[in-house]
Amino acid sequence: MDNYQPPIEFTLFYDGLCPICIKEAAWLYRHNQRRRLALKDLNDTDFDPSLYGKTHAQMLAQIHGVYPDGRILQGMDAFRAAYRAVGLGWLLAPTGWPILKILFDGFYWLFAKYRLRLARLIIHDEPCNCGENTESPSQ
């Protein structure tokens, strides 16, 4: 059973043109020792957002993820599921507590809304092309 692949618990879709998103995906990848999280770049030519009932622009507007049964999560709910899949759910657990959930979900909404500007301000050593390709890369 050397080739055993544990079942994927959650797939997180990220913007591979955004330095902030790349850094978060890389961090999750490094902590994915249980290999239960799949990471998928929204800008890969084989990615089809219509499979999830979304457009490419909608997927870029905020983070999304999907469970194997097809349930789609977005925003902080997607991050919470991704962290649980890598065994670090406890780090984000407080962000899901009743009053804190409203606060953190609101913070994420603001972050997502201004992500492009923030990426350009924060990441000076890398070009930020995130969000510039709002059409599907295969079109």
pLDDT of 1 over the 60 cut: no
pTM of the model: 0.84
Q: What is the reported pLDDT for 121?
A: 79
d(CA 136, CA 78): 21
Task: Give the distance, in angstroms, between the CA of residue 132 and the centroid of all CA atoms in the same chain.
Answer: 17
Domain extents for the chain? 10-122
Q: What is the pLDDT of residue 6?
A: 82
Convert the pLDDT of each residue in 41-91 to its tens digit: 999 999 999 999 999 999 999 999 999 999 999 999 999 999 999 999 999
Burial pattern 34-66, b for ≥16 Cβ within 10 A else e, equals eebbbbbbbbeeebebeebebebeebbbbbbbb
